[in-house]
Amino acid sequence: QALRQISQRTISTASRRQVENRVPEHQKLFQEDNGLPVHLKGGAKDALLYRATMCLTVFGTVYALYYLAVASMPKK
C-alpha cells in the first residue's frame, strides 16, 4: 500500500520541464553536404563508436575463423 502511494506520488508530481526542440539543428547537421557519411556526422562520439564496432567485428570474425580451423583439425 505504501509503495503504491509513493510510486503514484512520484509519477504525479514529476516536474514537467519544457525541453527545447533541437530537431531543426540536427536536421541541418545531418543534411549538410560535407562529404562525411551520415553515420559519422555526429562528431567524435560517432567516430569512436564506429571504430569500436569495426574492431569488435574484425576481432569476432578472426576469433570465429580460428576456432573453425581448430575444430576442423583432428585431435592427436
Q: What are the pLDDT digits (tens) for 6-56?
A: 666 555 555 566 789 999 999 998 999 999 999 999 899 999 999 999 999
- In a domain, residue 20? The reply is no
pLDDT tier at 69, thresholds 50, 70, 90: very high
Residue scoring higher pLDDT (57 or 76):
57
How many independent structural domains does the chain possess?
A: 1
Q: Is residue 54 part of a domain?
A: yes
Contact in structure between 66 and 59 (CB atoms under 8 Å): no
Identify the domain containing residue 62 by its residue range: 42-75
Residue 50 belongs to a domain: yes
Model confidence at 75, pLDDT cuts 50, 70, 90, reads: confident
Which residues, in sequence order, are CB contacts of 50 under 8 Å at separation 6+?
A: 39, 40
Residue 12 has what pLDDT? 53
Could you tell me if residue 30 is inside a domain? no
CA dist., res. 45 & res. 58, Å (int): 20
